Chain A
Amino acid sequence: MTLEEAAIVIDNLTKKFEDVTAVDGLSLRVERGELFGLLGPNGAGKTTTVNVLSCLLKPTSGSINVGGYDAEKRPDEVRKLIGVCPQDTAVFSYLTGRENVELFGNLHAMPKEKLKKRAEELLEKMGLSSDAKRRVRKYSGGMRRRINLIMALVHDPEIAFLDEPTVGMDPQSRRAVWDFIKELKKQNKTVILTTHYMEEAEELCNRVGIIDYGKLIALGAPEQLKAKFKAKNLEEVFIQLTGRRIREES
């Protein structure tokens, strides 16, 4: 991947599940080193988009290029570049925190010494060093979320997909995760962040895209969008665009 290349290029992506269209003609370009927020109400198609980008789902139509590779034709190359933090915590509860982190480092074939050092560093940053030897079964919800995030980033990926990484966290944990995500930005990593917390998107993202019913309905820097929609904050923009109706995830 060269500096000139975009980290992610989505061109007219459509993903259908039988007769439900989850993503409908989405086109998007995310630059290298950009922290991009993908916002939208429940069931808007955010997670489906992340799943397609991380090679878990095949697009119905359209093309996706991740790190210079066609995700459909070269998924193995894409998997080497990405780190995925799923929306629901996916951890082995019978392993300790450290064992979970090291397992995923090994799945990315990290050198042993480097993995040990990196795992230690991340556990320390996320405030989990003292609990690293405890089995995850005994962790609180917030601790599980933090381990979930570390597992996605232990191999120092070029591109990270963080699907609602701070949901259900207390303010302290959320701050720690924010600081960590900001560090990724400083390291010129590309991050796709999906979130329901508008203040989180405002605080962290260079640009955000708001999607609804699988379509991109707004795109720009938080400040640009606020100015365009004459709103005090991003939440107002979001409500103006998506309405006040309560929706459930399908």
Chain B
Amino acid sequence: MNFQRVLPLVKKDLKKMIREPATLFLIILFPVILTLAFGASFGAIGGSQSTTYQIGVVNMDSTGFYQQCARDFIENLSNTEILKNQDYSSNETAQTDLIQGNIQAILLIPSDFGQSCDSFWNAPTDPTLWVNTTLQLYLDSGSMFATQAIPPIIEQVLAATVYGIQPVSVPRPIQIGSPSLVQASRLTAFDYMAPGIFAYASIFLTMTVAQSFTTDRENGLLKRINTTPTTPSEFMTSQAISNMFAALTQVALVFAMAYLVGYRPSADPASYALAFVIMSIFALCNVGFGLITATLAKSPGAATGIAFIFIMPQMFLGTFVGFALSPSAQAAGKFVPSYYVTDALTSLFLRGAPVSSPTILLDLSVVSICSVIALLSGILLFGRYGKT
């Protein structure tokens, strides 16, 4: 590996990012505009002005020995100050108000909710003894903001209510931070979306990499570089370095923009460092997808279209948009790498989980494995079928 060849190629790619208007837009301006737009839309801009959503609560667990758990859960929901609870005695009445637009969501608390909580508290390490139950959620499909913001908030409050009151020494089946870290009352909807936005911006590297390779191939530049002593590994290393640098620049810019609009995650320096590591690894995954796209595409125009095969699932299933999807679509999200990036950043920035938490390490492992597979596949396919 001769770095006298690698570094000038990296420098060349970085100059391209700054000098080519389309690349500059996709890599730098798009994430900045996206962050500002979402910051403005979801309540981060304007300091204490939080968006609020009316949510109808039907508590079917209001009697019996275990009712306190449901009451705590409802109280925690109202403490978020984002959700304004409205109690209903029946689902039908609540549905009427939802259809008329008086509320944005309905939450049905099942009759065995308290029993389920209690079964977990009594045997947190033995799932065979748990009473499984499901919270039913109805969302106003006409409110894009509500569909995206409400589910993660409820998820957070549920985690705080059910798992957070456990003593820290007792192992829990699900790692979602401690209750004191879920300070929902100070959070806006944007805080819940920010981790997804970090991943969202990076996904578009697939398109820039694919366009770059197809343009260079069309202009005979790849062929020309092949007549020099530059080896394929030197060339690919330069691509990996320049795109990782691009991804880190994106994260830094998005974070700076988010900070400017009031985003203040409760994270330590180690969490920030790990977030940058995860994003760098994720960049390699997108380089791999970009190479596969460039292999399939005959021209830069076709590359733009084909890139969306990789961009759309990652965007809709793996970032903040995923919260608005059906349970099956959310399950499908687990097959896209961006899901694990968003999840890891959510754990770091929103749940306040430490860098060594199993959830984050699992996410990091999945992202790393996906990146290695995508990058190697991209290099092999492009080397074999994409050069000419």
Contact = CB atoms under 8 A, between A and B. Distances in A.
Interface of A: 54-56, 76, 79-80, 82, 84, 86, 88, 90-92, 94-95, 99, 102-104, 106-109, 135, 151
B223 A107 contact: no
Contacts of B219: 88, 90-91
Contacts of A55: 226-227
B20 A94 contact: yes
B47 interface: no
15 contacts: A79-B228, A79-B229, A86-B220, A86-B224, A90-B220, A92-B12, A99-B15, A103-B8, A103-B9, A106-B8, A108-B229, A109-B2, A109-B4, A109-B229, A135-B19
Given A94-B15, A94-B19, A106 B227 contact: no
Contacts of B230: 107
B5 interface: yes
A244 B7 CA distance: 51
B312 interface: no
Contact of B228 (A95, A99, A108): A108
Contact of B229 (A102, A107, A135): A107
A219 to B, nearest CB: 26
The SS class assigned to the B binding surface is helix
B144 interface: no
Interface residues of B, number: 23
A84 B224 contact: yes
A94 B227 contact: no
Contacts of B20: 94
A103 B224 contact: no
Contacts of B19: 94, 135
B221 interface: yes
B16 interface: yes
Contacts of A94: 15-16, 19-20
A48 B219 CA distance: 17
A88 B221 CA distance: 10
Contact of A84 (B7, B8, B227): B227
Interface string B220-241: 1101111111110000000000
Contacts, number: 62
Interface in B1-23: 2, 4-5, 7-9, 12, 15-16, 19-20
A44 B382 CA distance: 30
B4 A106 contact: yes
Given A79-B229, A90-B221, A92-B16, 4 more contacts: A80-B229, A86-B223, A106-B5, A108-B228
Contacts of B223: 56, 86, 90
A135 B226 CA distance: 23
B160 to A, nearest CB: 51
Contacts of A99: 12, 15
A80 B229 CA distance: 6
Contacts of B224: 84, 86, 90, 151
Nearest to A50: B227
A235 B228 CA distance: 34
A239 B352 CA distance: 81
A187 B251 CA distance: 53
A99 B19 CA distance: 13
A82 B227 contact: yes
A104 B8 CA distance: 9
A115 to B, nearest CB: 10
A80 B5 CA distance: 13
B242 to A, nearest CB: 13
A79 B15 contact: no
Contacts of B231: 76
A138 B286 CA distance: 32
Contact of A79 (B7, B8, B227): B227
A72 B5 CA distance: 23
B12 A76 contact: no
Contacts of A109: 2, 4-5, 229
B26 to A, nearest CB: 15
A84 B101 CA distance: 69
Nearest to A110: B4
Contact of A107 (B15, B220, B228): B228
Nearest to B222: A90
A132 to B, nearest CB: 15
B291 to A, nearest CB: 19
A107 B8 contact: yes
A77 B73 CA distance: 72
A107 B5 CA distance: 5
- 7 closest A-B pairs by beta carbon, nearest first, are A90-B220, A106-B8, A84-B227, A107-B228, A90-B224, A94-B19, A79-B229
Contacts of B9: 103, 107
A94 B12 CA distance: 9
A93 B224 CA distance: 14
A98 to B, nearest CB: 12
Interface in B213-269: 219-221, 223-231
A107 to B, nearest CB: 4
Interface string B92-105: 00000000000000
A85 to B, nearest CB: 9
A141 to B, nearest CB: 14
Contacts of A107: 5, 8-9, 225, 228-230
Contacts of B220: 86, 88, 90
Contact of B12 (A54, A90, A103): A103
A90 B8 CA distance: 17
B388 to A, nearest CB: 9
Contacts of B8: 102-103, 106-107
A102 B219 CA distance: 19
A82 B223 CA distance: 14
Nearest to A105: B8
B9 to A, nearest CB: 8
